[in-house]
Amino acid sequence: MPGKCASLVLIAMGLAALVGCGSNSTHTAYVTLPTSNAVAAYRIDNNSAQFTAIVGSPYPAGTSPSSVLVHPSKHFAYAANQVGNDISLLPINSTIGSLTETLPRTAAGLAPASLLMDTPGNFLFALNQVSSSISVYSINSGSGALAPVAGSPFSTFQNPVAFTLAPSGKFLYVVNANLAAVFAYTVNSGVLQPVTNLPVQVGNGPSGITVDPTEKWVYVANSTDNSVSVLSINSSTGALTLVSSFAVGTDPRSIAVQGQYVYVANLGSSNISVFSVNATTGVLTQITNSPFSAGGAPLFVAIDPDGKFLYTGSQSGSSISVMSITSSTGALTATSQSASTGVAPSSMSVTK
Amino acid sequence: MAIEPVGVPCKRAGVFLFFVFSVVLAASSISVGQVAPRWEVFGGYSYMRFDSPTIGYANWSNLNGFNGEVTFNITTRFSVTADGSGHYGSLLTVYNYMAGPQYAWRRDKSKFFAHVLFGKAQNTVNITTATRGGFESVGRAFAAGGGYDWDVTPRFTIRAVQADYLYTNTFGMRQNDVRISTGLVFHFKQIGHRPRL
């Protein structure tokens, strides 16, 4: 009996080894679906970028969620509800990654279109496009609850369309479409103060903005001029100086930066313009074979935390497409991986 | 979407263990017994390693629960089995209902058996959203495996181990699971005859 029992135990161990050995490392991605009033959730394999929808996805949020962010603790996410004029707090189930909204929602200004968060996760910023203001909230690290900081909301010039926060959290930049300009603010414990300089003119129809991780440059996508403007940052004051503007594809909307490379999503020409950045001058040089076909009218781009893949939100395809990044050249290669979102996605947040 | 294959070291370990099993089994002299119970009823503890990354979990799930079977022995070798199991974990409940043929090798008080089972899986993820109190999916189930029983008395047997590979198709994805059970088997009536001395 002992020999036969031993052999059966070995069967069991063999089965377990064959089938159950080793879980794959994954990232988690959350995607806003405005017309579904929901946020979709996916696991993304770190090596293959294969998407797996988390059971129960998409999860209900407020009316027309346009932007989503995950708190650094990974305990909760926030969605800006552009039509609902409020912000959803979405605690994350640590086992599954599912979202369950906590009510009531937090009031914002009119048409909160974008969200930002400082690196430690102490403050949340919401850009209110119609009421032309920025709502700033302190974040309760335990519950995720939001409380407006003193002086919030902070007024901006009319029709702000996008904003970005420096990695240090010291400076915040707002793109104004009416003036085709960028306004600069200092940030101190969540309180915004305009930098005394006049706004800096960029190209016509500015629609997207981002700061590079080294906090030396700000990039602005100019959707009417089909260009990207590069501005240098004064590290002491946060003031901006225009370096130059560079031609991209048609109707650029979103920018992402990975190392020395800048990626611009061109909605009209359905491709991604890729530039290398001169670290000293900020001058952009388009890399070989750029722009790279993205397909399906990409509205936004996001880069995975490992820097291996670039994700684009396809409006016509109602999907997230995946391109691999060659780290040495910045070049993009189409992959077979994608995730159908059912409706047009508006933003994406990827966490480790 | 294709299911991600397991890493190479895991496959090598599995192949090695199966090889060892084959050597051990071949070294055992097994002859077919000539007496068997007409009915066997099994019940006991069961462990399942569930392929939860296919439904969006970060890791596989270790579930605990029960396994029960009712076996009708047509002959001392061939039988049909009805199998039911339930496994529970954090936010996850897995039920399987299957039936199929079974083949047994018997000698003295030992019985090796192997079976293939077909049926249904009913999986539930117990998460609450604003509009749902949980998510359930029912799909196909298939199992292949076997085990070893040791007769304690003419009436009941210890099932030392039963190991099954379990394939299910729920939530639109295919899961590859492992189920391991142990417990007691009760016998009713008898078929066959003992050899004359």
Q: How high is the pLDDT of residue B16?
A: 40
**Disruptive mutation site among B57, B90, B115, B124 for chain A (greatest number of A CBs within 10 Å):** B57
Measure A277 CA to nearest chain B CA, in Å: 36
Report, as ranges of residue numbers, the positions in chain B whose pLDDT lies below 70: 1-33, 194-197
Could you tell me if the ipTM is greater than 0.90? no
List the 1-30 stretch of B: residues with Cβ below 8 A of A: 1-2, 4, 6-7, 9-11, 13-18, 20-21, 24-25, 27-28
Q: Going along chain B, which residue ranges are E strands?
A: 35-36, 39-50, 61-73, 78-89, 92-107, 110-125, 135-151, 156-170, 173-188, 191-192
Q: Domains plus CATH for chain A?
A: 61-155 (2.40.10.500)
Residue B149 · residue B160 · CB < 8 Å: yes
Q: How far, in Å, CA of B114 to CA of B104, rounded?
A: 7
Q: Which residue of B has its CA nearest to A55?
A: B55
Strand partners, A51: A44
| Interstrand relation of B78-89 and B92-107 (parallel, antiparallel or unpaired) | antiparallel
Strand partners, A97: none
List C-alpha distances in Å: A184 to A218, A232, B52.
11, 12, 47
Strand partners, A266: A252, A271
| Interstrand relation of A200-201 and A191-194 (parallel, antiparallel or unpaired) | unpaired
Contact call for A17 and B17, based on CB within 8 A: yes
Q: How high is the pLDDT of residue B105?
A: 95
Question: Pick from A11, A57, A95: which is nearest to B21 by CB?
Answer: A11
| Interstrand relation of A200-201 and A206-211 (parallel, antiparallel or unpaired) | unpaired
Q: Which residue has the tokens 């008898």?
A: B190
Q: Which residue has the tokens 């992959």?
A: A335
Question: Pick from B4, B18, B91: which is nearest to A14 by CB?
Answer: B18
Q: How high is the pLDDT of residue A9?
A: 52
Q: Count the neighbouring beta carbons within 10 Å of the beta carbon of residue A342.
A: 14
List the 104-123 stretch of B: residues with Cβ below 8 A of A: 109-110, 112
Contact call for A11 and B18, based on CB within 8 A: yes
Q: How far, in Å, CA of A171 to CA of A184, rounded?
A: 7
Secondary element (H or E) of residue A3: helix A2-20
Query: Smallest Cα–Cα separation from B34: which of B115, B113, B105?
Result: B105
Contact call for B6 and A93, based on CB within 8 A: no
A45 CB neighbours in chain B (<8 A) are 4
Collapsing DSSP to helix, strand or coil, A112 comes out as strand
Residue B187 · residue B152 · CB < 8 Å: no
As given in the structure block, the two tokens for residue B35 are 């007496």
Q: How high is the pLDDT of residue B58?
A: 87
Q: Which residue of B has its CA nearest to A102?
A: B130
Write down the pTM of the prediction.
0.87
Q: Domains plus CATH for chain B?
A: 35-192 (2.40.160.20)
As given in the structure block, the two tokens for residue A19 are 């089938």
Q: How high is the pLDDT of residue B129?
A: 75
A21 CB neighbours in chain B (<8 A) are 6-7, 9-10, 13-14
Mind listing the pLDDT tens digit of every residue in chain A (352 residues)? 445 555 555 555 555 545 444 445 899 999 999 999 999 999 999 999 999 999 999 999 999 999 999 999 999 999 999 999 999 999 999 989 999 999 999 999 999 999 999 999 999 999 999 999 999 999 999 999 999 999 999 999 998 999 999 999 999 999 999 999 999 999 999 999 999 768 999 999 999 999 999 999 999 999 999 999 999 999 999 999 999 999 999 999 999 999 999 999 999 999 999 999 999 999 999 999 999 999 799 999 999 999 999 999 999 999 999 999 999 999 999 999 999 999 999 999 999 8
Residue A284 · residue A275 · CB < 8 Å: yes
